[in-house]
A and B are shown apart, each in its own frame.
Chain A
Amino acid sequence: MKFISPEQIVIYFINFVFIFFLVVALKISYLMIKKFDFSKSTSFQYSLEKRNVLVSTIVSFFIFLKVPLLFYFLFYLDSLAPSIPGAMCAVGVLNSTPYGAYLIIVKVAVLFMLVWWFYINKFDLNTYGFKYTKLKYKFLILISFAIFLEFLLEINLFNNISPEKIVSCCGSVFGKDVKYFSSFLFNLNDNLSLLITVVTFLLLAIFFKTKNYVFYGLASLIFLIVAVYSLIDFFSTYIYELPTHRCPFCILQKDYGYIGYVIYFLLLTGTFYGSSLLVLKNILDNTTKISWARNSFFMIFCYLLIVGFYVVKYYMVNGVWLT
C-alpha cells in the first residue's frame, strides 16, 4: 500500500470500520436466510427478529456516513490535483488510473442500493409476518460485496496515483481522445445528447401522467445516464461558458457558486425516487408510489429548469449558442 496523505489514511480507517460491520451483517444475513421462519415461536426466532434492529441500524449508519464521505472523497481528490502533472481537478486524478471511473460508478450504486435496502426494511417491518425478510437479506449480501469491491477499487486507485505520470485535465478527458473515463462515452453529438435527454424527459412526463410507474422507473434510470451524458456534453459548456470545457466535476467548485451540489442533489434524489418505483415495485404501497413519483418528477423537472436556465442565460447575454 502506498500512502500519499493523511486524508487517505482516514478513508482507510473508515473502510476498516465498514468492513467490520459488514462481517457482522453478513453473518446475520446468513442466519436470516437459513433459519428465519415467522411461524416458529422459539427464542432463537425471537433473537433473529431482534437482530434485524441491529442490521437496520448498521445500514442507516452506512447511509449517514457514505454521503459525507463521497463528498470528502471528491474534496480530497481535488486537493491531490496540484501534485499530479496535468490534473486540474478531481477528474484528472480519477482518470490517472483505470479504476477511477468504475469507483465513482460503484460509489453511487452502493449509495442507491443502501437507501433501497433502508426502504425495503421499513416496509418489511410494516407487513404481517415480515414477508420480505429473506429477500432483503439476499440483497444485503449483494450490497456487502459491492462495498468490498468499492474498497478494493479505492486501494487500487490510491496505489496507482503517481506524481510522475502526466494525465489529462477534464477538458480533454471529456473531449475527443479516448482514455478510461471517456471509454464510457459514446461519441454523441452535442445536439443529439440534448435531444435524447428531452425525449427521455417527455417519456417520463407521459408515464407520470398515465401513472405507469414501472415504465416510469425504467425511464428515470435511463434518464440518470442520459442526463449525465448531456451534462458533460452540452449543459456543462453553458455553465462554464466555454465550449471546450466539458466536465461534470468542476461545477462543484466555488467558481461556479457550488451549483453542482444542487444539480447533483436534484438529479440523484429525483432519479432515486423514480427508479425505486421499478426496483421496489412489489414492496411499495400505492400512496407511497404516487407521492414518490410526484417527488421524483418534481426534482427532475427542477434539475432541467436549472441546467436549462444556464443555456437560456448564456443566449440572453451573448446572443449566440455555443457549438
Chain B
Amino acid sequence: MRIGFYICHCGTNIAGTIDAAAVRDFAAELPGVAVSRDYKYMCSDPGQEMIVQDIRDNKLDRLVVAACSPSLHEETFRKAAAKGGMNSFFFQMVNIREHNAWVHEDKAAATQKAKDQVRAAITRVRFHKALEKKSVPVNANVLVVGGGIAGIHAALTLANAGKTVTLVERDSTIGGHMALFDKTFPTLDCAACILTPKMSAVKNHPNITLWTYSEVSKVEGYVGNYKVTVKRKTRYIKEDLCVGCLDCIEACVFKEPKFRDDFNQGLSKRKPVYMSFPQATPKLVTIDPETCIQLKTGKCRKSCAEACDRKAIDFELKDEMKELEVGAIILATGFSAFDPKRHAYYGYGRYPNVYSALEVERLVNASGPTNGEVVLRDGKHPKAIGIIHCVGSRDEHTNKWCSRVCCMYSLKLAHLLKEHTGAEIYDFYIDMRTPGKTYEEFYDRLLQEGVHFIRGRVAEVNDWAMTPEEEGKLVIRVEDTLAGFVRRIPVDMVVLSQGLEARKDAGDVRRLFNIGCGTEGFFQERHPKLAPVSTFADGIFIAGACQGPKDIPDTVAQAGAAAAEALALVDAGHVELEPNTSHVVEEECCGCKSCVPLCPYSAISFDEAKKKASINEVLCKGCGVCAAACPSGSIRQNLFEDEELFGEIEGVLS
C-alpha cells in the first residue's frame, strides 16, 4: 500500500493553530505512507495538481488530505484522485479545521489531536474499496408547493424554460401574503398590479398545471424520481364549468355575509360560498363545508345551485387523490405572521383599536373591506396612530430572530396611514433596520414626511388615562432611549408589526419531504452560503419565507435560484448517487426484519419469497441506521464497513 498524505494550512486558518510541518513529519513515519506533504492551500489548482502528479509519479494507491470539512472540499480531492488515475473512493478526508483548529487555542494539544485524527484516517483508508457512483435517469417534471410569490415565480421560470410544472396550493387561490398588500416597499408600487399578472400567467401557462385547494399528502422516491400524492379537496364546484360569475354567492340562502372572512383577516364577513378576492386565481368559487347548511345538514333549498346556469355546483363531489411523478420539488410554503395575542401587554384582542399589521394591510387596501378608508372598529377615524415594531421578533420570550421585513413594512404603513388619514404617526422601533437597495432612502423620506420616530421597546399599551388628554385614548408607555426618559403617548389606533415565523405545520411538512429545519422551525438550507436553496434531501429545494423571513425582492430572487437549481438537476437528464449506501448480504441475512421499520427513507423491504431483507440502493441515503442495527452484521455500508470504522477507532486511540 502506498498512501499519499497532504496537510493544508488553509492560510492561517489551520496553520495558525496546528503545526502543519510536525503533522506532515509524523504522518511520513506511519506505515504505508509513501508521500507526506504540507501546502498553503490544498484546494487550489497547484495543491490539487501536486496530488495528481504524486499519484502518477509515486504510484500512490490511497489518498488522505487533512484540511477543512468534507462538505466543502471532499469532492475537490475526489476529483483530483480520479484525475491522477486513482479510484475516487480510495480517498479519506480529515477535518482538522472545523473539528480542530477553529475550536482550540492550545497549539501543542491541537497538533497532537491533528496527529491522532490523521493516524485514524491513514489506518482506515487502507480498508477502502473501489466504488463507483450510480447514475439514474431524472424525470424532467417539477412540483412546486406553495402558490405565494415564491412559488409563482419559481413555477413560471421553470415553465418558461419548457418544463412541465405542477403548482400545488393549499388555499383556494394563489397569491399568498402578497395578495393581501395594497402597496409594496420601498417603491410603493401597487402589489396587485405586479402580482396579478403573474397569477394569471400561471393559470394560463400551457406548461403549468395549477392545483389549488390541494395539499401534498405523500412523497415517495428519491432525487430525480419522486412520486407525490396530492389531495385535491373538493370545492363542491365543477371546476371546468364555473366561470366565477359569483351569481351563486348572491343567491346563497344567507342574505348577508355571516362568517369570518379569512382573506380580510376577519375585518369583514363572507358567505359559505365565496371567492377570496376578485382577482382570485383560479377564478372559482368555493363552498366552505364548515358553514354551508347543505353540507352540514343536507337540508337547504340550495338556491346557489339553482342560480348557477352552468350547473357547476355539486354537493356530492368528493376529495380526490392524485399521483404525479416529478424529478425535483420546490417548497415555497411561506410563513405565518406572529399572533400578537401572545404579547398580552400590547392589548391585541382586548382593545378593539389595536390592530395587527396584516389587518392594517387590508384596511389601507383600495380593494379591502373598507375600500381603503381607515376607519376604526368603533367607527372613528384615527387622529393619532402608534406603530410598534418587533412584536414577536428580537424577543427572548417569543422569537429571538429579527424578522427582517417589519421595519420596512412599518415605514410603508406609516406612509400609507399618514396619506390615508392625515393622522400623527408615532413609530416605535428598537433599531431601524433598512439594509436593502433604496431602503435607507425610504426611511429618509419618512423622516421628512413628519412621522415621529421614537427609539425604544414599548412596555405596554393600555387605556388608563392619567391626564385629560389621555381620556378615551390608548396610551403607549415606552422608554424613549434617545431622549432618556419614559413617555406616555396617547393614540387612537395601535398597529402591531408582527414578526414572521415558521408555519405551525412546518414540522409535518418537513417530515413529509424529509428535509431539516432549524430550532426556530424554518426549513434548513443545505449550506447558508453555498447552497442556500438546496436541502439535505437531494432534488428538494426551498424558496422564500419558509426558509427564513425575507422580503419580496429576496423571495423572488430565491425562487429564481431554486428554479435554476431544479432546472440544472432535471435538465441534466440523469443524476449521480453517492455510493455510501447499504446493502444486505443475502446469504447472511436471517430475515429477522429488525431493519425494515428503521429506515427513514423506506428503502428497505422484506422479500417474502426469499424471506430476506432487501435495500433499494437508489433510495438509500447512507444514514447507516440499518447497518448499525442489523443484529447479525449482515448489512454492510460502503465507506462505513466495520474494518474501516474499527481501523479509524484504533488509529485515533493508538
**Co-complex (A, B):** no
Q: Which residues of A contact B (CB under 8 A)?
A: none
